[in-house]
Amino acid sequence: MNKKNIVVIMTDQQRADLRALEGYSLNTTPYLDELARKGCWFDHAYTTMPVCGPARSSLITGRWPSSHRVNSNDCLKLAEYEKDLFAVAKDSQYATALIGKNHSPLIPDQAVDYHYLQGHWGGFQEEKTDMEASYDKWLKSLSQVSMTATPFPPECQLPYRAVSAAKRWIDSLNEQPFLLWLSFPEPHNPYQAPEPYYSMFPPEKLPPLGASKEDRLRKGEKWVFYGEQMENFLPDHEERIARARSNYLGMLRLIDDQIRRLVLHLEENHMLDHTLIVFLSDHGDFVGEYGLMKKGPEAPDILSRIPMQFYGAGIPAREAAHDAHVSLADVMPTLCEVMESEIPMGVQGRSLWGLLNGEAYPKKEFASVMTEHGYGGLYHLGEGSADMDSVGSVTHGIAEFNELNRYTQSGWLRTIRKDAWKLNMDMHGRGELYNVSHDPLELNNLYDSSEHRDIKCEMLGTLSMWLIRTQTATLTDSPYYPIKRHPRNYLNK
């Protein structure tokens, strides 16, 4: 077989730093950590926006949200792009499948050969066992966190069912190269875990949190509001956070075991040598920091930085993390090169294939990375009280609240990561500068520090460069106005 199989494994809402590979004191993802050391992994990988729909749109289009136009979860139909990852795969004679959570502009019936869809509250397919159907119904009864062990076995969990579907689909193929997007809906809320995962990381043995409720109150109006929103719909949320953290880590270990199950299946069927496995997440999770769960206000590092690693065919092992700053938008053009296809017009990400297999590359190209946030307009906070009824509800004792609302998502924000530094800038010119190597939770704003004036100027220049390079061309490629492109979409030498 000449062409490589491709498996893109995506989790939903996974923090990059909560694994032993990055120095976390608990071993939450031992198998993924092992694969990372046998391949190539990045500790400066960033989402394009810490919101599901925009990030997943970037995965399949290779564009930043300001270019593909999906800057909230409610505008997937407005996506703009010329050709997505799965269209490239089909043109390259690949079999294609989407298994798990979609939440992208893809229309599965049209975009892929096979789909098996899931959401955060169960599977969408009609074929379920009675126990799976009961489990899905139980998920809908949770108020964000289960305070007891999930009363169903691991085989009912969505990652287990997704891997089972992936194995069946792979086994049905006849030597045809394939592209599989295996998209786990977890460790997203509702935070729940069955035994033995429920008891693996007891709340009383978790590492201490680094940011408190008091820290949140100093972060700005959006942060204050989101805390009030949680208190309004889940008054006992502070008591639930320890168990939410414990369940979250247990969900990571469960996912890790299911990824092991899939990779071993590929190995047993002699497919691993010609299969590339990509692992990443769409964005992070507060996991208790600042007294918060889920995501919401702005783009702090714990929401914006994501796990990203490549393993398998053509990837030499490197024990340490690659030092390049890379983006979720870079995955699509990378896979185009793997499939031996030209990167489509309008793609803004860069192919990482040269970095992955040890070739020389322009260091400046990957010296920084940008994340976007916000759907535009003025902020909704600051003028009167917020309408809590518009952002959540409690029905029959079940608390639901949308953290991605007008109050936490309005306005525009751009954030730049370069070396140890992080710059946040909104449309009013409100700036924040953090040394995230020493201040990972962004508690000490150095933007107005005279001592750091040179760093601020350098970061503002980097932000300007990124705002320019992520513009969308209005002229189409033509003999009169040809658009000159590097084969890997580099813009720096």
Distance CA 488, CA 349 (A): 9
Other CB atoms within 10 A of residue 106 CB: 22
Per-residue pLDDT of 372-431, as tens digits, reads 999 999 999 987 789 999 999 999 999 999 999 999 999 999 999 999 999 999 999 999
Per-residue pLDDT of 119-141, as tens digits, reads 999 999 878 999 999 999 999 99
Distance CA 348, CA 36 (A): 26
Per-state percent for the chain, helix, strand, coil, to nearest 5: 35, 15, 45
- Helix/strand/coil for 124: coil
Radius of gyration of the chain (CA): 22
Per-residue pLDDT of 258-271, as tens digits, reads 999 999 999 999 99
Nearest residue to 211 (alpha-carbon basis) of 289, 288, 285, 296 = 289
Q: Half-sphere exposure (CA, 13 Å, Cβ side) for 463?
A: 23
Q: Give alpha helix (H) positions in 220-325.
A: 221-233, 237-268, 301-304
Q: Half-sphere exposure (CA, 13 Å, Cβ side) for 349?
A: 37
Reported as a pLDDT band with limits 50, 70 and 90, residue 477 is: confident
Residue extents of the structural domains in the chain: 5-211+239-370
Reported as a pLDDT band with limits 50, 70 and 90, residue 1 is: low
pLDDT at 49 over 80: yes
Mean pLDDT on 226-236: 96
* Beta-bridge mates of residue 394: 399
Distance CA 431, CA 220 (A): 12
Per-residue pLDDT of 157-196, as tens digits, reads 999 999 999 999 999 998 899 999 999 999 999 999 999 9
Distance from chain centroid for Cα 147: 26
- Helix/strand/coil for 411: strand
Per-residue pLDDT of 307-365, as tens digits, reads 999 999 889 998 899 999 999 999 999 999 999 999 999 999 999 999 999 999 999 99
Query: What's the angle, vertex CA 404, arms to CA 107 and CA 425, rounded to 5?
Result: 110
- Helix/strand/coil for 455: helix
Query: What's the angle, vertex CA 314, arms to CA 312 and CA 318, rounded to 5?
Result: 75
Mean pLDDT on 147-165: 98
Per-residue pLDDT of 436-474, as tens digits, reads 999 999 999 999 999 999 999 999 999 999 999 999 888
- Helix/strand/coil for 439: coil
Beta-strand ranges (E) seen in 22-88 are 40-42, 45-46
Global model pTM greater than 0.95: yes
Distance CA 401, CA 392 (A): 4
For the chain, the residue count is 493
Q: Long-range pairs for 71-75 at CB < 8 Å and ≥24 separation?
A: 71/372, 71/374, 71/375, 71/376, 72/375, 72/404, 72/409, 73/103, 73/404, 75/375
The fold adopted by the segment(s) 5-211+239-370 is Alkaline Phosphatase, subunit A (3.40.720)
The type of residue at 257 is: D
pLDDT at 232 over 90: yes
Distance CA 99, CA 115 (A): 5
Distance CA 100, CA 43 (A): 26
The type of residue at 71 is: N
Distance CA 9, CA 228 (A): 35
The pLDDT assigned to 492 comes to 87
pLDDT at 57 over 90: yes
Contacts of 354 (CB under 8 A, 6+ apart): 360, 361, 488
